[in-house]
Amino acid sequence: MNPSARFSCFAGCDEHYALDEVVYRCRRCGALLDVTHDLDALRARSAAAWIDLFDRRWMRTAWPYGSGVWGKLEWVYPGIAHDSIVSFAEGGSNLLRADRYGRSIGVEDLWVKQCGNSHTGSFKDLGMTVLVSAVREMVRRGRGVRAVACASTGDTSAALAAYCAAAGVPALVLLPRDKVSVAQLLQPLANGATVLSLDTDFDGCMRVVKQITDDGSIYLANSMNSLRIEGQKTVAIEIVQQLDWSVPDWVVIPGGNLGNIYALGRGFQMMKDLGLIARMPRLCVAQAARANPLYRAFKSGWDRYEPITAQRTAASAIQIGDPVSIDRAIRVLKATDGVVEEASEDELSDAVARADRTGMYNCPHTGVALAAVEKLARAGTIERGQRVVVVSTAHGLKFTEFKRAYHTGALDGATARHDNRPIELPADVDAVRRALDARL
């Protein structure tokens, strides 16, 4: 067995490039690229044998297979030298049963894939380990790059900075000023990246970084780069693996630039092509109502897509009006009988607060997905008894300003119905007793 992979044109041109080439789009038609695998070579191992192999590697020590991403190395970047791999043991995040919250919203079989429980606190680590490892592989094969760059709403930049720091490669990140959390700004600063804070939004940063990386000497790390998709698609495989190789009925994911929904679809499709699963789940992209270009396209019956100017939302990582992977997302949703749902600031923050009351600690993007589940369940689109997995994309601790605004009743566009504040008292036992009696 000799698995191999290459870039191929998403739109179907007969164009293919090696994975160590600096190329993001089809040179003939300009479409994005897919990483395509030699499935026949992978079929030399049976579905049962892949399952056995993946289970034996899961969360163990042998380098680099203990990483959730690199445990699936042959499906991700076959042939990469182990020495090129830059890994923080990403992946393998917990899939938690959201029992009490699920029952409260009438979805009894609800699970949350905690992708934020990762090195830099978001699912972006899954893609970035592949991209930065690929850069090291390029350097090893004699193709140097001066730096790796990305535009970001805060999580891509944190991941890029950390993996580049581990690899000893210069990182350059472009952030929209005042539109990322304090934690997200500090992460790349601490990891020594060059941080450019621009007076624009994410879409504006994206336009600049595309031009900066134009001549190929600076490598582009945004999700239009399909190498990231290869790492992120392992979330689909992990979900199925953690459900003892069974397929949920629904997977709900918050979407902005829409690379992750495409990755999810690719992961499920690859498992189906190789016989590990027999059917696809239905997929749902959840968008903030203030940044909902995909939702609008869905509502038009996939008739019309128009970029919009995204408005400020607490779900800042998905505040994107002109998603680069729009065509990819629409293709995946059509293929999986998928839907798009939206959530207002009030709906997303209320869902976060109620879910937090059951012990979770959700980021606002996860709140968008939870609100979408609630709406789909109310509408009967998600049927009673169906198994639903929500992809939680980042750790709540990165979004302290959001939590504080909610719990002090100061969150824009939202009414705090489940706010909770500290009771400030003198250090006096009687005063404490009185306060407890009033509360319990």
Ligand X SMILES: *Cc1c(COP(=O)(O)O)cnc(C)c1O
Total Cβ atoms within 10 A of residue 218: 18
Q: Is the dihedral of CA 269, 271, 277, 283 positive or negative?
A: negative
Quickly count: other Cβ atoms within 10 Å of residue 44's Cβ: 11
Contact 290, 345 (CB under 8 A): yes
With contact defined as beta carbons under 8 Å apart, do 248 and 239 qualify? yes
Of positions 68, 71, 176, 259, contacts ligand X by CB under 6 A: 259
Task: Confirm or reject binding of residue 28 to Zn ion (CB under 5 A).
Answer: yes
The one among 254, 293, 321, 338 contacting ligand X by CB under 6 A: 254
Chosen residue from 3, 8, 9, 201 binding Zn ion by CB under 5 A:
9
Task: To the nearest 10°, report the CA torsion of 120, 123, 126, 132.
Answer: -50
The region of 26-34, 118-126, 256-264, 370-378 touching Zn ion under the rule CB under 5 A is: 26-34
Q: Which residues contact 357 (CB under 8 A, 6 or more apart)?
A: 418
Q: 17, 23, 25, 31: which one contacts Zn ion (CB under 5 A)?
A: 31
Query: Which of the choices ligand X, Zn ion, none does residue 110 contact, using the CB cut-off of 5 to 8 A by kind?
Result: none
Residues 148-207 that bind ligand X (CB under 6 A): 155
Question: Considering beta carbons, is residue 29 or 186 the nearer one to Zn ion?
Answer: 29
Interface residue with ligand X among 71, 188, 255, 338 (CB under 6 A) is 255
Helices (H) and strands (E) in the chain, counts: 17, 13
CA distance 95 to 240: 10
Which tokens hold the place of 324? 């680069």
Residue in 136, 365, 375, 403 binding ligand X, rule: CB under 6 A: 365
- Cβ proximity to ligand X, 64 vs 154, nearer residue: 154
Is residue 317 involved in binding ligand X (CB under 6 A)?
A: yes
Q: Assess 348 for contact with ligand X (CB under 6 A).
A: no
Q: Is 11 in the site for Zn ion (CB under 5 A)?
A: yes
CA dihedral 55, 59, 64, 70 (to 10 degrees): 60
Site for ligand X in 98-157 (CB under 6 A): 122, 124, 155
Q: How far is the CB of 42 from ligand X (least distance, A)?
A: 25
Residues of the shown chain interacting with Zn ion in the complex, contacts defined by CB under 5 A: 9, 11, 13, 26, 28-29, 31
